Structure 1
Amino acid sequence: MSQESRNTEHDPSREPPGPGLGDGKSKRPVEEDLATAFLRETEVIEESIENGQKVRRKGIYLLPNLFTTSALFAGFFSVVAGINGDFTAAAVAIFIAMILDGLDGRVARMTNTQSAFGAEYDSLSDMLSFGVAPALVAFNWILQDIGKTGWVVAFLYVACAALRLARFNVQIGSTDKKWFIGLPSPSAAAFVAASVWTFHSFDAEAFGFKLLMLIVVAAAGILMVSNIRYYSFKEIDLKGPVPFVVLLAIVLGFVVISVEPSVMLLLLFTGYVASGPALAIMRKM
Protein backbone atom coordinates (compact mmCIF):
# COMPACT_ATOMS: atom_id res chain seq x y z
CA MET A 1 0.00 0.00 0.00
CA SER A 2 1.38 3.35 -1.01
CA GLN A 3 2.05 6.21 1.37
CA GLU A 4 -0.69 8.23 -0.34
CA SER A 5 -3.20 5.45 0.22
CA ARG A 6 -2.29 5.17 3.89
CA ASN A 7 -2.62 8.94 4.36
CA THR A 8 -5.97 8.90 2.64
CA GLU A 9 -7.19 5.98 4.74
CA HIS A 10 -6.33 7.67 8.00
CA ASP A 11 -7.36 11.18 6.98
CA PRO A 12 -9.87 12.35 9.64
CA SER A 13 -11.62 14.52 7.08
CA ARG A 14 -12.59 11.37 5.19
CA GLU A 15 -14.14 9.65 8.23
CA PRO A 16 -17.94 9.70 8.57
CA PRO A 17 -19.06 12.47 10.90
CA GLY A 18 -20.19 11.53 14.37
CA PRO A 19 -23.64 12.34 15.70
CA GLY A 20 -24.11 16.07 16.08
CA LEU A 21 -20.53 16.81 14.80
CA GLY A 22 -20.10 18.19 11.31
CA ASP A 23 -23.28 16.59 10.02
CA GLY A 24 -24.96 19.93 9.50
CA LYS A 25 -27.39 19.24 12.36
CA SER A 26 -27.24 20.52 15.92
CA LYS A 27 -28.77 19.03 19.02
CA ARG A 28 -31.56 21.63 18.86
CA PRO A 29 -33.87 19.54 16.61
CA VAL A 30 -33.51 16.56 18.97
CA GLU A 31 -34.49 18.74 21.92
CA GLU A 32 -37.44 20.10 19.95
CA ASP A 33 -38.52 16.58 19.10
CA LEU A 34 -38.42 15.62 22.78
CA ALA A 35 -40.44 18.71 23.67
CA THR A 36 -42.96 17.90 20.98
CA ALA A 37 -43.22 14.33 22.21
CA PHE A 38 -43.74 15.52 25.79
CA LEU A 39 -46.50 17.91 24.73
CA ARG A 40 -48.13 15.18 22.68
CA GLU A 41 -48.11 12.71 25.60
CA THR A 42 -49.51 15.27 28.06
CA GLU A 43 -52.08 16.84 25.75
CA VAL A 44 -55.70 16.98 26.88
CA ILE A 45 -58.10 15.64 24.24
CA GLU A 46 -61.84 15.96 24.75
CA GLU A 47 -64.50 14.17 22.74
CA SER A 48 -67.98 15.61 22.39
CA ILE A 49 -71.02 15.17 20.18
CA GLU A 50 -71.85 18.20 18.03
CA ASN A 51 -74.62 18.04 15.42
CA GLY A 52 -74.68 14.27 15.73
CA GLN A 53 -70.97 13.88 15.01
CA LYS A 54 -68.10 13.07 17.34
CA VAL A 55 -65.69 15.99 17.64
CA ARG A 56 -62.20 15.77 19.14
CA ARG A 57 -60.77 18.94 20.64
CA LYS A 58 -57.19 19.41 21.86
CA GLY A 59 -56.06 21.75 24.62
CA ILE A 60 -57.85 23.54 27.44
CA TYR A 61 -59.33 27.00 27.82
CA LEU A 62 -56.98 29.16 29.84
CA LEU A 63 -59.15 31.95 31.27
CA PRO A 64 -61.81 30.00 33.24
CA ASN A 65 -59.24 27.46 34.43
CA LEU A 66 -57.08 30.29 35.80
CA PHE A 67 -59.98 31.22 38.09
CA THR A 68 -60.37 27.57 39.10
CA THR A 69 -56.64 27.28 39.82
CA SER A 70 -56.79 30.44 41.93
CA ALA A 71 -59.70 28.99 43.91
CA LEU A 72 -57.73 25.78 44.38
CA PHE A 73 -54.76 27.77 45.67
CA ALA A 74 -57.00 29.65 48.12
CA GLY A 75 -58.38 26.34 49.40
CA PHE A 76 -54.89 24.91 49.86
CA PHE A 77 -53.78 28.10 51.61
CA SER A 78 -56.74 27.74 53.97
CA VAL A 79 -55.64 24.22 54.90
CA VAL A 80 -52.06 25.33 55.55
CA ALA A 81 -53.18 28.38 57.55
CA GLY A 82 -55.49 26.21 59.64
CA ILE A 83 -52.70 23.76 60.40
CA ASN A 84 -50.46 26.67 61.44
CA GLY A 85 -53.14 28.07 63.74
CA ASP A 86 -53.97 31.19 61.68
CA PHE A 87 -57.71 30.57 61.68
CA THR A 88 -58.75 34.06 60.59
CA ALA A 89 -56.62 33.83 57.43
CA ALA A 90 -57.90 30.29 56.86
CA ALA A 91 -61.52 31.45 57.01
CA VAL A 92 -60.88 34.44 54.74
CA ALA A 93 -59.18 32.17 52.19
CA ILE A 94 -62.33 30.03 52.00
CA PHE A 95 -64.39 33.12 51.17
CA ILE A 96 -61.85 34.10 48.50
CA ALA A 97 -62.13 30.60 47.03
CA MET A 98 -65.90 30.98 47.06
CA ILE A 99 -65.74 34.22 45.07
CA LEU A 100 -63.32 32.76 42.53
CA ASP A 101 -65.43 29.61 42.21
CA GLY A 102 -68.45 31.73 41.42
CA LEU A 103 -66.54 33.56 38.72
CA ASP A 104 -65.00 30.67 36.79
CA GLY A 105 -68.31 29.23 35.63
CA ARG A 106 -69.74 32.61 34.70
CA VAL A 107 -66.56 33.54 32.82
CA ALA A 108 -66.73 30.24 30.92
CA ARG A 109 -70.35 30.86 29.94
CA MET A 110 -69.77 34.49 28.97
CA THR A 111 -66.77 33.61 26.80
CA ASN A 112 -68.28 30.35 25.50
CA THR A 113 -65.34 28.35 26.86
CA GLN A 114 -67.19 25.61 28.76
CA SER A 115 -65.57 22.19 28.65
CA ALA A 116 -65.79 18.80 30.33
CA PHE A 117 -62.23 19.24 31.57
CA GLY A 118 -63.16 22.55 33.20
CA ALA A 119 -66.18 21.01 34.90
CA GLU A 120 -64.13 18.14 36.35
CA TYR A 121 -61.30 20.45 37.40
CA ASP A 122 -63.79 22.77 39.11
CA SER A 123 -65.34 19.85 40.99
CA LEU A 124 -61.96 18.68 42.30
CA SER A 125 -61.09 22.23 43.33
CA ASP A 126 -64.42 22.51 45.16
CA MET A 127 -63.70 19.31 47.05
CA LEU A 128 -60.56 20.80 48.54
CA SER A 129 -61.80 24.36 49.06
CA PHE A 130 -65.31 23.59 50.31
CA GLY A 131 -64.99 20.03 51.56
CA VAL A 132 -61.60 19.39 53.11
CA ALA A 133 -60.56 22.94 54.08
CA PRO A 134 -63.59 23.93 56.24
CA ALA A 135 -63.57 20.61 58.08
CA LEU A 136 -59.83 20.79 58.82
CA VAL A 137 -60.02 24.43 59.91
CA ALA A 138 -62.91 23.74 62.29
CA PHE A 139 -61.23 20.59 63.59
CA ASN A 140 -57.83 22.20 64.17
CA TRP A 141 -59.42 25.15 65.94
CA ILE A 142 -61.93 23.59 68.31
CA LEU A 143 -63.40 20.22 67.29
CA GLN A 144 -60.25 18.32 68.26
CA ASP A 145 -60.91 19.32 71.88
CA ILE A 146 -64.07 17.20 71.83
CA GLY A 147 -62.14 14.02 71.08
CA LYS A 148 -63.42 11.26 68.82
CA THR A 149 -66.76 12.98 68.26
CA GLY A 150 -64.94 16.00 66.85
CA TRP A 151 -63.07 14.19 64.10
CA VAL A 152 -66.07 11.98 63.30
CA VAL A 153 -68.20 15.08 62.67
CA ALA A 154 -65.37 16.67 60.65
CA PHE A 155 -65.18 13.54 58.49
CA LEU A 156 -68.98 13.52 58.16
CA TYR A 157 -68.77 16.99 56.66
CA VAL A 158 -66.02 15.95 54.20
CA ALA A 159 -67.96 12.85 53.12
CA CYS A 160 -71.17 14.83 52.66
CA ALA A 161 -69.32 17.42 50.57
CA ALA A 162 -67.97 14.66 48.30
CA LEU A 163 -71.43 13.12 47.94
CA ARG A 164 -72.96 16.53 47.29
CA LEU A 165 -70.50 17.29 44.50
CA ALA A 166 -70.93 13.85 42.94
CA ARG A 167 -74.72 14.19 42.97
CA PHE A 168 -74.52 17.69 41.52
CA ASN A 169 -72.31 16.47 38.66
CA VAL A 170 -74.74 13.74 37.60
CA GLN A 171 -77.80 15.99 37.95
CA ILE A 172 -76.52 18.80 35.71
CA GLY A 173 -79.16 19.56 33.10
CA SER A 174 -81.88 17.46 34.77
CA THR A 175 -82.98 19.85 37.52
CA ASP A 176 -84.56 23.29 37.68
CA LYS A 177 -81.72 25.82 37.44
CA LYS A 178 -83.62 28.15 39.74
CA TRP A 179 -83.01 25.83 42.69
CA PHE A 180 -80.18 23.79 44.19
CA ILE A 181 -81.06 20.38 45.59
CA GLY A 182 -79.36 20.44 48.97
CA LEU A 183 -77.19 23.17 50.43
CA PRO A 184 -74.47 24.13 47.91
CA SER A 185 -70.98 23.20 49.10
CA PRO A 186 -69.63 26.79 48.82
CA SER A 187 -72.44 28.05 51.07
CA ALA A 188 -71.87 25.23 53.55
CA ALA A 189 -68.16 26.07 53.62
CA ALA A 190 -68.92 29.78 54.07
CA PHE A 191 -71.26 28.96 56.98
CA VAL A 192 -68.53 26.96 58.73
CA ALA A 193 -65.79 29.49 57.89
CA ALA A 194 -67.85 32.46 59.11
CA SER A 195 -68.57 30.62 62.36
CA VAL A 196 -64.88 29.89 62.94
CA TRP A 197 -63.91 33.44 62.02
CA THR A 198 -66.49 35.04 64.32
CA PHE A 199 -66.10 32.81 67.36
CA HIS A 200 -62.31 32.79 67.12
CA SER A 201 -62.23 36.60 66.85
CA PHE A 202 -64.08 36.85 70.14
CA ASP A 203 -61.99 34.08 71.78
CA ALA A 204 -65.17 32.06 72.21
CA GLU A 205 -63.67 28.69 73.13
CA ALA A 206 -65.92 27.71 76.04
CA PHE A 207 -67.50 24.27 76.01
CA GLY A 208 -70.80 25.72 74.82
CA PHE A 209 -69.15 27.10 71.68
CA LYS A 210 -67.49 23.74 71.07
CA LEU A 211 -70.91 22.12 71.02
CA LEU A 212 -72.22 24.93 68.82
CA MET A 213 -69.43 24.38 66.27
CA LEU A 214 -70.16 20.66 66.39
CA ILE A 215 -73.77 21.40 65.47
CA VAL A 216 -72.76 23.91 62.76
CA VAL A 217 -70.40 21.48 61.01
CA ALA A 218 -72.79 18.52 61.29
CA ALA A 219 -75.80 20.54 60.10
CA ALA A 220 -73.88 21.98 57.15
CA GLY A 221 -72.82 18.49 56.10
CA ILE A 222 -76.28 16.93 56.42
CA LEU A 223 -77.99 19.80 54.60
CA MET A 224 -75.61 19.35 51.65
CA VAL A 225 -76.93 15.84 50.98
CA SER A 226 -80.55 16.64 51.81
CA ASN A 227 -83.31 17.15 49.25
CA ILE A 228 -84.12 20.60 50.61
CA ARG A 229 -84.20 23.21 47.86
CA TYR A 230 -82.15 26.40 47.98
CA TYR A 231 -82.47 29.37 45.67
CA SER A 232 -79.58 29.33 43.18
CA PHE A 233 -79.53 33.01 42.08
CA LYS A 234 -78.74 31.76 38.56
CA GLU A 235 -81.66 33.72 37.14
CA ILE A 236 -79.82 36.97 37.83
CA ASP A 237 -78.55 38.36 34.51
CA LEU A 238 -75.20 40.05 35.10
CA LYS A 239 -74.97 41.20 31.47
CA GLY A 240 -78.35 42.90 31.29
CA PRO A 241 -79.41 46.29 32.67
CA VAL A 242 -80.67 46.46 36.25
CA PRO A 243 -82.48 49.18 38.21
CA PHE A 244 -80.27 51.73 39.94
CA VAL A 245 -81.56 50.58 43.33
CA VAL A 246 -79.89 47.18 42.78
CA LEU A 247 -76.45 48.79 42.49
CA LEU A 248 -77.23 50.94 45.53
CA ALA A 249 -78.19 47.84 47.52
CA ILE A 250 -74.91 46.15 46.55
CA VAL A 251 -72.89 49.17 47.67
CA LEU A 252 -74.77 49.30 50.99
CA GLY A 253 -74.16 45.58 51.40
CA PHE A 254 -70.41 46.06 51.04
CA VAL A 255 -70.51 48.91 53.55
CA VAL A 256 -72.44 46.87 56.13
CA ILE A 257 -70.16 43.84 55.72
CA SER A 258 -67.02 45.97 56.05
CA VAL A 259 -68.14 47.23 59.50
CA GLU A 260 -67.77 43.76 61.07
CA PRO A 261 -67.04 41.27 58.28
CA SER A 262 -67.08 38.05 60.28
CA VAL A 263 -70.34 38.80 62.09
CA MET A 264 -72.14 40.14 59.01
CA LEU A 265 -71.08 37.18 56.88
CA LEU A 266 -72.15 34.77 59.61
CA LEU A 267 -75.59 36.41 59.76
CA LEU A 268 -75.85 36.40 55.96
CA PHE A 269 -75.03 32.72 55.52
CA THR A 270 -76.97 31.64 58.59
CA GLY A 271 -79.98 33.25 56.93
CA TYR A 272 -79.30 31.43 53.65
CA VAL A 273 -78.77 28.08 55.38
CA ALA A 274 -82.02 28.54 57.30
CA SER A 275 -83.94 29.65 54.20
CA GLY A 276 -84.07 26.13 52.77
CA PRO A 277 -85.79 24.42 55.73
CA ALA A 278 -87.97 27.51 56.25
CA LEU A 279 -89.26 27.43 52.66
CA ALA A 280 -89.80 23.66 52.89
CA ILE A 281 -91.95 24.12 56.00
CA MET A 282 -93.89 26.96 54.40
CA ARG A 283 -94.66 24.83 51.32
CA LYS A 284 -96.10 22.09 53.52
CA MET A 285 -98.35 24.45 55.45
Structure 2
Amino acid sequence: MKHNNTEKSIPKRPRRGIYILPNFFTSMNIFCGFYAIISSINGRFTAAGVSILIAVVFDSLDGKIARATNTTSKFGVEYDSLADLISFGLAPGLMIYLWALKPLGRIGWLAAFLFLICGALRLARFNTQTGSVDSNHFVGLPIPAGAGMNAVIVLFCHRFGMNNSVNPILIFIIMNTLSFLMVSTIKYNSFKKPELFKKMNFNVLVGAVIIFIFIAAEPSIALFLMGLIYVISGPIGSLKHLKNAKHNTTNTPKPDKKKA
Protein backbone atom coordinates (compact mmCIF):
# COMPACT_ATOMS: atom_id res chain seq x y z
CA MET A 1 0.00 0.00 0.00
CA LYS A 2 1.46 3.31 -1.08
CA HIS A 3 1.70 6.17 1.33
CA ASN A 4 0.85 9.71 0.37
CA ASN A 5 4.16 11.55 0.00
CA THR A 6 2.57 14.95 -0.50
CA GLU A 7 2.92 15.70 3.19
CA LYS A 8 6.69 15.41 3.31
CA SER A 9 8.59 17.59 5.67
CA ILE A 10 8.92 20.99 4.04
CA PRO A 11 11.47 23.45 5.40
CA LYS A 12 9.62 25.96 7.47
CA ARG A 13 10.22 29.62 6.90
CA PRO A 14 11.50 31.53 9.88
CA ARG A 15 8.70 33.19 11.75
CA ARG A 16 9.00 36.87 11.16
CA GLY A 17 6.57 37.70 13.95
CA ILE A 18 9.25 37.15 16.58
CA TYR A 19 11.22 40.08 15.15
CA ILE A 20 8.48 42.33 16.44
CA LEU A 21 9.63 41.87 20.04
CA PRO A 22 13.11 43.50 19.93
CA ASN A 23 11.93 46.18 17.51
CA PHE A 24 9.01 46.93 19.83
CA PHE A 25 11.46 47.71 22.64
CA THR A 26 13.43 49.89 20.24
CA SER A 27 10.20 51.71 19.35
CA MET A 28 9.54 52.28 23.05
CA ASN A 29 13.05 53.71 23.25
CA ILE A 30 12.11 56.25 20.58
CA PHE A 31 8.81 56.99 22.34
CA CYS A 32 10.63 57.79 25.59
CA GLY A 33 13.06 60.03 23.73
CA PHE A 34 10.24 61.88 21.98
CA TYR A 35 8.36 62.26 25.26
CA ALA A 36 11.51 63.69 26.83
CA ILE A 37 11.67 66.28 24.04
CA ILE A 38 8.03 67.28 24.53
CA SER A 39 8.50 67.44 28.31
CA SER A 40 11.57 69.66 27.91
CA ILE A 41 9.71 72.06 25.63
CA ASN A 42 6.93 72.28 28.23
CA GLY A 43 9.44 72.92 31.02
CA ARG A 44 8.93 69.55 32.73
CA PHE A 45 12.61 68.67 32.99
CA THR A 46 12.22 66.07 35.73
CA ALA A 47 9.84 64.08 33.54
CA ALA A 48 12.28 64.47 30.65
CA GLY A 49 15.14 63.08 32.74
CA VAL A 50 13.08 60.10 33.88
CA SER A 51 12.02 59.40 30.30
CA ILE A 52 15.64 59.33 29.14
CA LEU A 53 16.53 56.87 31.91
CA ILE A 54 13.62 54.63 30.92
CA ALA A 55 14.85 54.82 27.32
CA VAL A 56 18.23 53.54 28.56
CA VAL A 57 16.44 50.51 30.04
CA PHE A 58 14.59 49.80 26.79
CA ASP A 59 17.84 50.20 24.84
CA SER A 60 19.59 47.61 26.98
CA LEU A 61 16.66 45.20 26.69
CA ASP A 62 16.17 45.22 22.92
CA GLY A 63 19.68 43.92 22.19
CA LYS A 64 19.52 41.26 24.90
CA ILE A 65 16.10 40.07 23.70
CA ALA A 66 17.30 39.95 20.08
CA ARG A 67 20.29 37.81 21.05
CA ALA A 68 18.24 35.59 23.36
CA THR A 69 15.61 34.90 20.69
CA ASN A 70 18.17 34.73 17.86
CA THR A 71 16.43 37.54 15.99
CA THR A 72 19.33 39.89 15.41
CA SER A 73 19.28 41.57 12.02
CA LYS A 74 20.90 44.42 10.15
CA PHE A 75 17.56 46.22 10.17
CA GLY A 76 17.43 45.99 13.95
CA VAL A 77 20.96 47.38 14.28
CA GLU A 78 20.20 50.37 12.07
CA TYR A 79 16.85 50.97 13.74
CA ASP A 80 18.49 50.86 17.16
CA SER A 81 21.12 53.43 16.10
CA LEU A 82 18.45 55.83 14.86
CA ALA A 83 16.53 55.40 18.11
CA ASP A 84 19.67 56.07 20.15
CA LEU A 85 20.39 59.25 18.23
CA ILE A 86 16.93 60.59 19.11
CA SER A 87 16.71 59.41 22.71
CA PHE A 88 20.35 59.84 23.74
CA GLY A 89 21.52 62.60 21.41
CA LEU A 90 18.71 65.00 20.57
CA ALA A 91 16.56 64.59 23.69
CA PRO A 92 19.28 65.18 26.34
CA GLY A 93 20.89 67.94 24.28
CA LEU A 94 17.61 69.85 24.03
CA MET A 95 16.77 69.13 27.67
CA ILE A 96 20.06 70.51 28.98
CA TYR A 97 19.89 73.55 26.69
CA LEU A 98 16.40 74.55 27.79
CA TRP A 99 17.16 73.69 31.43
CA ALA A 100 20.51 75.42 31.97
CA LEU A 101 22.31 76.52 28.81
CA LYS A 102 19.73 78.88 27.32
CA PRO A 103 21.08 81.94 29.21
CA LEU A 104 24.41 81.45 27.40
CA GLY A 105 22.77 82.13 24.05
CA ARG A 106 24.60 80.86 20.99
CA ILE A 107 27.34 79.18 23.02
CA GLY A 108 24.66 77.28 24.92
CA TRP A 109 22.88 75.74 21.94
CA LEU A 110 26.22 75.06 20.24
CA ALA A 111 27.24 72.98 23.27
CA ALA A 112 23.99 71.03 22.97
CA PHE A 113 24.61 70.55 19.24
CA LEU A 114 28.16 69.37 19.96
CA PHE A 115 26.77 66.70 22.27
CA LEU A 116 24.37 65.60 19.53
CA ILE A 117 27.00 65.43 16.78
CA CYS A 118 29.51 63.64 19.02
CA GLY A 119 26.81 61.13 19.89
CA ALA A 120 26.15 60.55 16.18
CA LEU A 121 29.87 60.06 15.54
CA ARG A 122 30.07 57.68 18.50
CA LEU A 123 27.22 55.56 17.10
CA ALA A 124 28.72 55.51 13.60
CA ARG A 125 32.11 54.43 14.94
CA PHE A 126 30.52 51.75 17.10
CA ASN A 127 28.65 50.27 14.13
CA THR A 128 31.79 50.14 11.99
CA GLN A 129 33.87 48.57 14.78
CA THR A 130 31.40 45.83 15.66
CA GLY A 131 33.18 42.49 15.55
CA SER A 132 36.64 44.02 15.19
CA VAL A 133 37.20 45.27 18.76
CA ASP A 134 37.12 43.61 22.16
CA SER A 135 33.49 43.28 23.25
CA ASN A 136 34.49 43.52 26.91
CA HIS A 137 35.16 47.25 26.53
CA PHE A 138 33.58 50.21 24.76
CA VAL A 139 35.83 52.60 22.85
CA GLY A 140 34.69 55.95 24.16
CA LEU A 141 31.85 56.72 26.53
CA PRO A 142 28.66 54.99 25.30
CA ILE A 143 26.01 57.46 24.23
CA PRO A 144 23.36 55.99 26.61
CA ALA A 145 25.77 56.63 29.50
CA GLY A 146 26.33 60.23 28.35
CA ALA A 147 22.59 60.82 28.05
CA GLY A 148 21.93 59.11 31.36
CA MET A 149 24.51 61.31 33.07
CA ASN A 150 22.72 64.41 31.79
CA ALA A 151 19.41 63.02 33.03
CA VAL A 152 20.65 62.20 36.53
CA ILE A 153 22.23 65.66 36.84
CA VAL A 154 18.79 67.19 36.27
CA LEU A 155 17.19 64.81 38.77
CA PHE A 156 19.99 65.40 41.31
CA CYS A 157 19.56 69.19 41.12
CA HIS A 158 15.78 68.83 41.40
CA ARG A 159 16.22 66.63 44.49
CA PHE A 160 18.10 69.42 46.29
CA GLY A 161 16.03 72.29 44.87
CA MET A 162 18.81 73.71 42.70
CA ASN A 163 16.90 73.96 39.43
CA ASN A 164 16.73 77.74 39.56
CA SER A 165 20.28 78.25 40.87
CA VAL A 166 22.25 75.93 38.60
CA ASN A 167 25.44 77.40 37.14
CA PRO A 168 25.24 77.46 33.32
CA ILE A 169 29.04 77.57 32.98
CA LEU A 170 29.41 74.39 35.06
CA ILE A 171 26.80 72.58 32.98
CA PHE A 172 28.51 73.88 29.83
CA ILE A 173 31.81 72.32 30.96
CA ILE A 174 30.09 69.03 31.84
CA MET A 175 28.36 68.86 28.46
CA ASN A 176 31.59 69.45 26.56
CA THR A 177 33.43 66.91 28.70
CA LEU A 178 30.81 64.25 28.00
CA SER A 179 30.97 65.09 24.29
CA PHE A 180 34.75 64.66 24.28
CA LEU A 181 34.57 61.37 26.18
CA MET A 182 32.11 59.92 23.65
CA VAL A 183 34.44 60.44 20.69
CA SER A 184 37.63 59.66 22.61
CA THR A 185 39.52 56.34 22.52
CA ILE A 186 39.21 55.91 26.29
CA LYS A 187 37.99 52.41 27.11
CA TYR A 188 34.95 51.78 29.29
CA ASN A 189 33.84 48.48 30.77
CA SER A 190 30.91 46.95 28.88
CA PHE A 191 30.01 44.52 31.69
CA LYS A 192 29.55 41.76 29.11
CA LYS A 193 31.90 39.26 30.75
CA PRO A 194 29.90 36.20 31.82
CA GLU A 195 32.36 35.70 34.70
CA LEU A 196 31.03 38.83 36.36
CA PHE A 197 27.74 37.06 37.03
CA LYS A 198 28.75 33.39 37.14
CA LYS A 199 31.41 33.81 39.82
CA MET A 200 29.58 36.22 42.10
CA ASN A 201 30.40 35.48 45.74
CA PHE A 202 28.28 36.14 48.79
CA ASN A 203 29.84 39.53 49.63
CA VAL A 204 29.21 40.84 46.12
CA LEU A 205 25.59 39.71 46.37
CA VAL A 206 25.17 41.57 49.67
CA GLY A 207 26.75 44.67 48.12
CA ALA A 208 24.36 44.48 45.15
CA VAL A 209 21.38 44.27 47.50
CA ILE A 210 22.62 47.30 49.46
CA ILE A 211 23.05 49.27 46.23
CA PHE A 212 19.51 48.30 45.17
CA ILE A 213 18.14 49.50 48.52
CA PHE A 214 20.08 52.76 48.14
CA ILE A 215 18.60 53.28 44.66
CA ALA A 216 15.09 52.57 45.96
CA ALA A 217 15.53 54.97 48.89
CA GLU A 218 17.28 57.85 47.08
CA PRO A 219 17.14 57.20 43.33
CA SER A 220 18.38 60.64 42.30
CA ILE A 221 21.45 60.56 44.53
CA ALA A 222 22.26 56.89 43.91
CA LEU A 223 21.96 57.12 40.12
CA PHE A 224 24.00 60.33 40.08
CA LEU A 225 26.83 58.72 42.05
CA MET A 226 26.74 55.55 39.91
CA GLY A 227 26.78 57.59 36.71
CA LEU A 228 29.62 59.77 37.94
CA ILE A 229 31.69 56.74 38.96
CA TYR A 230 31.20 55.14 35.55
CA VAL A 231 32.06 58.34 33.64
CA ILE A 232 35.30 58.91 35.52
CA SER A 233 36.22 55.20 35.51
CA GLY A 234 37.36 55.46 31.89
CA PRO A 235 39.94 58.24 32.34
CA ILE A 236 41.15 56.73 35.63
CA GLY A 237 41.59 53.34 33.97
CA SER A 238 43.48 54.90 31.07
CA LEU A 239 45.81 56.75 33.44
CA LYS A 240 46.50 53.52 35.35
CA HIS A 241 47.21 51.72 32.08
CA LEU A 242 49.66 54.42 30.97
CA LYS A 243 51.35 54.41 34.37
CA ASN A 244 51.75 50.61 34.32
CA ALA A 245 53.05 50.66 30.75
CA LYS A 246 55.60 53.34 31.64
CA HIS A 247 56.62 51.41 34.76
CA ASN A 248 57.12 48.21 32.78
CA THR A 249 59.17 50.05 30.18
CA THR A 250 61.53 51.60 32.72
CA ASN A 251 61.99 48.29 34.56
CA THR A 252 62.73 46.26 31.44
CA PRO A 253 66.40 45.20 31.62
CA LYS A 254 68.43 46.48 28.74
CA PRO A 255 70.68 44.00 26.89
CA ASP A 256 74.37 44.32 27.62
CA LYS A 257 76.36 45.72 24.78
CA LYS A 258 79.70 43.96 24.63
CA LYS A 259 82.51 45.41 22.68
CA ALA A 260 83.68 43.37 19.76
Q: How far apart, in 1, do the equivalents of 2:142 and 2:189 lie?
A: 10
Is 1:271 the counterpart of 2:236? The answer is no
Note closer, same or farther for the CA distance 1:226–1:238 as it changes in structure 2 (3 Å cut). closer
Q: How far apart, in 2, do the equivalents of 1:62 and 1:244 lie?
A: 38
Is 1:106 the counterpart of 2:64? The answer is yes
- Maintained 8 Å contact 2:100/2:166: no
Pairing of 1:1-285 with structure 2 (within 5 A): 59=16, 61-205=19-163, 209-236=167-194, 242-285=200-243
- Maintained 8 Å contact 1:88/1:201: no
What amino acid maps onto 2:134 in structure 1? D
Once the two structures are superposed, what CA deviation does each residue of 1:167-187 show, in whole Å capped at 9, x if it has no partner?
101110000001100000000
Query: In structure 1, the residue corresponding to 2:225 is in which secondary structure?
Result: helix
> Under a length normalisation based on structure 1, what TM-score does the superposition of the two structures give?
0.75
What amino acid maps onto 2:102 in structure 1? Q
Once the two structures are superposed, what CA deviation does each residue of 1:219-248 show, in whole Å capped at 9, x if it has no partner?
111100000000110113699685455544
- Maintained 8 Å contact 1:78/1:94: yes
Query: In structure 1, the residue corresponding to 2:188 is in which secondary structure?
Result: strand
Q: Which has the higher contact order (CA 8 A, sep 6+)?
A: 2
Q: How far apart, in 2, do the equivalents of 1:122 and 1:238 lie?
A: 26
**1:266 positional shift:** 1.0
Once the two structures are superposed, what CA deviation does each residue of 1:236-263 show, in whole Å capped at 9, x if it has no partner?
3699685455544333222101222112
Q: How far apart, in 1, do the equivalents of 2:72 and 2:166 lie?
A: 46
Structure possessing the higher radius of gyration over alpha carbons: 1
Q: How far apart, in 1, do the equivalents of 2:69 and 2:198 lie?
A: 16
Q: How far apart, in 1, do the equivalents of 2:215 and 2:41 lie?
A: 27
What amino acid maps onto 1:157 in structure 2? F
Once the two structures are superposed, what CA deviation does each residue of 1:171-211 show, in whole Å capped at 9, x if it has no partner?
10000001100000000011111111212333325776221
Q: How far apart, in 2, do the equivalents of 1:241 and 1:278 lie?
A: 25
Note closer, same or farther for the CA distance 1:279–1:137 as it changes in structure 2 (3 Å cut). same
Q: How far apart, in 2, do the equivalents of 1:82 and 1:196 lie?
A: 11
What amino acid maps onto 1:169 in structure 2? N
What amino acid maps onto 1:187 in structure 2? A
2:10 — aligned with what?
A: none
- Maintained 8 Å contact 1:180/1:231: yes
- Maintained 8 Å contact 2:32/2:54: yes
2:254 — aligned with what?
A: none
Q: How far apart, in 2, do the equivalents of 1:239 and 1:260 lie?
A: 25
Note closer, same or farther for the CA distance 1:238–1:270 as it changes in structure 2 (3 Å cut). closer
CA RMSD in angstroms comes to 2.1
- Maintained 8 Å contact 1:195/1:213: no
**1:127 positional shift:** 0.4
Q: How far apart, in 1, do the equivalents of 2:224 and 2:115 lie?
A: 18
Query: In structure 2, the residue corresponding to 1:142 is in which secondary structure?
Result: helix
Q: Is there any run of 5+ residues in structure 1 with no aligned partner, and where?
A: 1-55
Q: How far apart, in 2, do the equivalents of 1:248 and 1:122 lie?
A: 34
Query: In structure 2, the residue corresponding to 1:112 is in which secondary structure?
Result: coil
> Under a length normalisation based on structure 2, what TM-score does the superposition of the two structures give?
0.82
